[in-house]
Amino acid sequence: MLKYCKILDEETGLVQLGVGCSDEYYIAIGMQLRDVEQSEKDFNWYITEKCPHKTKEEKLEDKRVEKFFENETKRETFLMQGVEYKGILFDSDLEQKINIMATVQVMDEQETITWVGKDGVTSLVCDKYDLLAIGGLLSNMTTYVWQIRNPEIKTKIENAKTIEELDAIDISYEMGA
């Protein structure tokens, strides 16, 4: 790409780009129109023929890091989406799990409690067995993520030998995916 620049280091080809649109100004301050390229290694600008590029291994490792981040983001989104019971979506965060288990421990067989859904509006009058069922759904979801799906995805990412293999990895956390 042709740009006005000043060479800062002849050996490495590092340049300072002109920022603006006045050719006369650039020429007046000693800049030259040169073929330059931005390095993917350090994001500095260089004369094209001296521009440092990432190796195939560095590009693969960058893609692997990107995939691990994508996995973490999608995993956490799935874990926070909630669980549905009797048509009501309930929270699935750690606080919800703790509250359910603590409440179940102190409830007797005939007692009921109104449990509020994730939206903070809808609710369900629950007995001990309803709360155990919600807790079971939360437990199933957590087990699926941490013992099955997340290790499976992480192993695929770790074992991928090419960027194409990494691109082909499906990172989804739908139950049964």
What is the torsional sign of CA 28, 29, 30, 32? negative
What does the pLDDT read at residue 175? 79
Do 31 and 82 belong together in one domain? no
What does the pLDDT read at residue 39? 97
What does the pLDDT read at residue 22? 82
Q: What mean pLDDT is predicted for residues 73-78? A: 97
What does the pLDDT read at residue 11? 96
Do 43 and 93 belong together in one domain? no
The 3-state DSSP class for residue 83 equals strand
In terms of residue numbers, what domain contains 133? 56-167
Give the pTM.
0.77
- Nearest CA to 142 among 169, 173, 120, 172? 173
Do 113 and 144 belong together in one domain? yes
Share of the chain above pLDDT 70, in %: 99
Q: Point out the domain boundary residue: 50, 68, 90.
A: 50
Q: Using DSSP bridges, classify how beta strands 32-38 and 45-47 pair: parallel, antiparallel or unpaired.
A: antiparallel
Length of the chain: 177
Is residue 172, in this structure, part of any structural domain at all? no
Q: What is the pLDDT of residues 129-161, one digit of tens each?
A: 999 999 999 999 999 999 999 999 999 999 999
Is residue 28, in this structure, part of any structural domain at all? yes
Do 11 and 85 belong together in one domain? no
CA distance 86 to 131: 12
Is residue 176, in this structure, part of any structural domain at all? no
- CA 16-22-28 angle, to 5 degrees, is 70
Residue 176 pLDDT > 60: no
Do 78 and 160 belong together in one domain? yes
Is residue 108, in this structure, part of any structural domain at all? yes
Please, which pLDDT band fits residue 44 given cuts at 50, 70 and 90? Answer: very high
Q: For residue 160, report the phi and psi dihedrals to the nearest 5 degrees.
A: -65, 135
| Tokens at 157, concatenated | 């990412």
Is residue 115, in this structure, part of any structural domain at all? yes
Please, which pLDDT band fits residue 170 given cuts at 50, 70 and 90? Answer: very high
Q: What is the pLDDT of residues 76-114, one digit of tens each?
A: 999 999 999 999 999 999 999 999 999 999 999 999 999
Do 43 and 129 belong together in one domain? no
Please, which pLDDT band fits residue 177 given cuts at 50, 70 and 90? Answer: very low
| Tokens at 94, concatenated | 């750690």
Mean pLDDT for the chain overall:
95
Total structural domains within the chain: 2
Do 19 and 60 belong together in one domain? no
| Tokens at 16, concatenated | 């300072």
Do 31 and 79 belong together in one domain? no
Q: How far lies 86's CA from each of 90, 123, 125, 142, in Å?
A: 10, 10, 11, 20
Please, which pLDDT band fits residue 20 given cuts at 50, 70 and 90? Answer: confident
